Amino acid sequence: MRNVEIIGYGSYVPEETVEFDGQIRHRVPKGSSVTQISMAVAAAREALAKASLDITDIDCIVSASAVDHQPIPCTAALIHEQIAKGTDIPAMDINTTCTSFVSAFDVVSYLIDAGRYDKVLLVASEKASVGLNPKQKESYELFGDGAAAVVLSKCEDDSAGIIYAKQMTWSEGAHDTEIRGGLTGMYPDVYSECPEEFCFDMNGLKVLKLAGRKLPGFFKGFLSESGYTMDDIDMVVPHQASKALGMIMPLLGVPKDKYIDIVPEYGNMVSVAIPHALIWAIKNGKIKKGDTVLLIGTAAGLTANALLFKY
């Protein structure tokens, strides 16, 4: 076990909502001054407060988002500017699209376990609404904006830590989910010639088919390698990929009462979906200290990521 503990957490969702057939999505309205970076900062400040820490207690700032505010500098440096200017805390981005938080949690745990960093601020933030294509009903009605952050700390004993983690990527799906141009700093209509190239483009059925074919084997391998069974797991926090969650979870053998599904309330918040659902579950008493928790999801790529940890 890599002895890493979540000692603080915070999330931000825009107040403004839109509704599609009773499904609520939180989205920053166009023209608002709220950016991907300001949402990240709000979540980070809540996480620091919860951990009773000041930013100067943090040894590294990691941004774990799918889409960035702008190409240069990296998103972590832009978050640093709002929350850590004047310090010399290193800032870094780690990206596996929708599962970036899982990958970053996983990767950073090695650095914490080895003593490189003691406390790491991990932030996912997305302004998915910038790049939605009204002509693609499925994805247009699915995504939401927001941010989620955790403070990770070395845990001195085995009371918390990462038990097992695994990632796989199958690039047959590389173009089933994509955005070909642009980022979140500007809306696509400033690019007048081919705005759709700057919008989210998803072939949901192809993604679902590929995920349905790959995920059960991936998860079976994960469980057998970890030495854990579903009975040993207290709660599953899946990527809130779509309304199909209720179809995918049984395929993996996850019982109905053992996973978080807040798609009706929040939709798919891209890389924010997993940490936001994790924090939601903690805040709502669905996950308690000492629980064995599984984070699992797929990302554009197609990538699958799973991480089992003791909270």
Interface contacts to its own copies, rule CB under 8 A: 2, 60-61, 66-68, 70-74, 76-78, 80-81, 84-97, 103, 107, 110-111, 113-114, 116, 131, 167-172, 174, 177-183, 185-186, 190-194, 197, 200, 214, 218, 299-301, 303
Per DSSP bridges, beta strands 60-63 and 17-20 are unpaired
**For residues 179-193, b (16+ Cβ closer than 10 Å) or e, as one string?**
beebbbeebbeeeee
Closest to its own copies by CB, 16 vs 185, is 185
For the bound state, the minimum distance from the C-beta of residue 149 to its own copies, rounded and expressed in Å, comes to: 17
Residue 182 carries which DSSP code?
-
- End-to-end, the C-alpha distance of the chain in Å comes to 12
Closest to its own copies by CB, 157 vs 193, is 193
Do the Cβ atoms of 156 and 22 come closer than 8 Å?
no
For the bound state, the minimum distance from the C-beta of residue 186 to its own copies, rounded and expressed in Å, comes to: 5
Q: What is the DSSP string of 100-118?
A: HHHHHHHHHHHHHHTTS-S
Closest to its own copies by CB, 22 vs 31, is 31
Closest to its own copies by CB, 11 vs 184, is 184
Closest to its own copies by CB, 5 vs 106, is 106
The identity of residue 112, as a single letter, is I
Under DSSP, is residue 126 helix (H, G, I), strand (E, B) or coil?
Answer: strand
Do the Cβ atoms of 99 and 167 come closer than 8 Å?
yes
Cis peptide leading into 134, omega within 30 of 0?
no
For the bound state, the minimum distance from the C-beta of residue 45 to its own copies, rounded and expressed in Å, comes to: 16
Do the Cβ atoms of 61 and 80 come closer than 8 Å?
yes
How many Cα atoms occupy the beta-carbon half-sphere of 287 within 13 Å?
24
Closest to its own copies by CB, 111 vs 248, is 111
Do the Cβ atoms of 151 and 120 come closer than 8 Å?
yes
Closest to its own copies by CB, 153 vs 280, is 153
Distance between CA atoms of 269 and 240, rounded to whole angstroms? 7
Give me the residue label for tokens 């943090």: 58
For the bound state, the minimum distance from the C-beta of residue 56 to its own copies, rounded and expressed in Å, comes to: 13
For the bound state, the minimum distance from the C-beta of residue 46 to its own copies, rounded and expressed in Å, comes to: 20
Closest to its own copies by CB, 204 vs 291, is 204
Token output for 211: 């995920």
For the bound state, the minimum distance from the C-beta of residue 251 to its own copies, rounded and expressed in Å, comes to: 18
For the bound state, the minimum distance from the C-beta of residue 207 to its own copies, rounded and expressed in Å, comes to: 11
